[in-house]
Amino acid sequence: MALKVTVVGVGMVGEQIVSILRERNFPMKWPPRICATRARSEVLAGEGFHVEETAEGAFEGVDVVFFAGKEGGKGASVQWGKKAVDAGAICVDNGGDFRMDPAVPLVVPEVNLDAVTPDKSFIASPNCSTIQMVLVLDALHRAARIRRVVVSTYQSVSGWGVAAQEDLLKQIPHALKSLDDIPFEPTVFASPIAFNLFPHIDKFLEDGYTKEEMKMVWETQKIMGDDTIKISPTTVRVPVLVGHGEAINIETEKKLSAAEAREILANSPGVVVIDEPNTNSPRNDPLERTYPVPLDVRRPEYQDMVLVGRIREDPTIENGLNLWCVADNLRKGAALNVVQIAEGLIERGRLNP
C-alpha cells in the first residue's frame, strides 16, 4: 500500500516538501495531509490544499510525518513530535529543536543514514548551511582526515523565510534611487539587505558568535561523529533570494592535491564539481576556470546537488585546501534532505509502501 504522509507547516519549506514529494514520485497516497497552526485553504506548489489545524488525530494511521520547521516560538515538533511517534509514525524534523539531542539522530542521508537505528522513529535534519558543508567535508574526511575548517558563508534571505524575501524585494526600488535611509523591517534584519550584507544570522551568544555559526560547529561534529574536528565559522547574509554559498578552508592530516580533491568530490554522492578551464571566456584570461554561483541552482540538473568549485591548495599550511560550494537552501538545505531521509528508510525496509 502507498504510504500515508502528513506535512506539518505551510511556509517556504513546507511548500517545497509538497513539491518534492510529487516531483520524485514518493510512494504515497496523494494528497498528503497538510497541517498548521490554523485551518485554511492554501495553494502549495501550484495545487490547492485544505490545511487542517494540527491535532492528535492528524497522525493516526500515518506512516511518515514531515515537520517543515518553525511554527510559533518553537518548532511544531516540540508539541507534536512525541504524539506522532506514539501514533506509530516515523517523523523527520526540519526544525532545530532536537538536532543536538543525543537521543535523536541528525542525518544527511549521503553521509550517515546508519545513525537511524531500528529503535529510532524521530529523526532530525540539519541546518541548511551545515548540510551542504558536510556533504563536501565527509568525502575529504574519509580520504585524508580533517583537522580544522574555517568557513565563511554567504546565505540568501530565504534562509530566514518569506518575510525576508518580501523585505528585500520591497527595498530594491528605493535602493535603486538612493542608498540612504532604505526602509526595512527591523524585526527581520538589523540593517537593510538591498545592496548590502552583514555578518549576523540568528541570535548572538555570549562568546560573540551567533547561533547560526555554532550550529555549523556542533551539527557537523555530530553528523561526522568526530568532535575533534575544529571549525571556525562566520555566517553572512547576502542579498540573494535563494542559494547559499560557502568559502571553506580545510586542513587535513594527509596531504591532498587539488586534483585529488576534485576527483574525490566528483565521485561523491550529491556533489557536482564545476571547476575546469573556461575555454569560452571573453575576458582574455587563459587561466580562468569555471565555478558555481547561486543562480545555477535554478537549473534542473543542479537544483538538488551541492556544487563545488575553486578547489585549490592552500600554500600557507602543510596540508590545506580551499574551495567554494553552493546549494539550494530550500531544497537540499531543507525539504529535499528530509524527503531523502524517508527514501533511504524505504530502501532499507524501515518504511514499507
Asked if residues 302 and 290 have their Cβ atoms less than 8 Å apart, the reply is: no
Q: Tell me, yes or no, if 200 is annotated catalytic.
A: no
Percent helix, strand and coil across the chain, each to the nearest 5: 35, 25, 45
User: Quick check: 123 and 116 in contact, CB under 8 A?
Assistant: yes
Residues near 166 by Cβ (< 8 Å), separated by ≥ 6?
none
Among the listed residues 94, 92, 106, the one whose alpha carbon sits nearest the alpha carbon of residue 343: 92
Nearest to 309 by CA among 297, 323, 321: 323
**Looking at 128, 141, 200, 325, which residue is catalytic?**
128
Q: How far apart are CA 123 and CA 139, in angstroms?
A: 23
Decide: residue 227, CB within 10 A, 0-12 exposed, 13-18 middle, 19+ buried: exposed
Using alpha carbons, select from 24, 12, 15, 9 the residue that is nearest to residue 48.
15
32's CB contacts (< 8 A; 6+ apart) are: 5, 6, 7, 18, 21
Instruction: Clarify whether 244 is annotated catalytic.
Output: yes
CA distance 221 to 217: 6
Determine how β-strand 244-252 pairs with β-strand 146-155.
antiparallel
The C-alpha cell at 88 is: 506509530
CA distance 140 to 252: 8
Residue 39 to residue 6: CA distance in whole angstroms: 14
Phi and psi based region of residue 12 (left: phi greater than 0; alpha: psi -120 to 50; beta: remaining): alpha
Phi and psi based region of residue 72 (left: phi greater than 0; alpha: psi -120 to 50; beta: remaining): left
Catalytic residue among 35, 91, 141, 244: 244
Catalytic residues: 128, 244
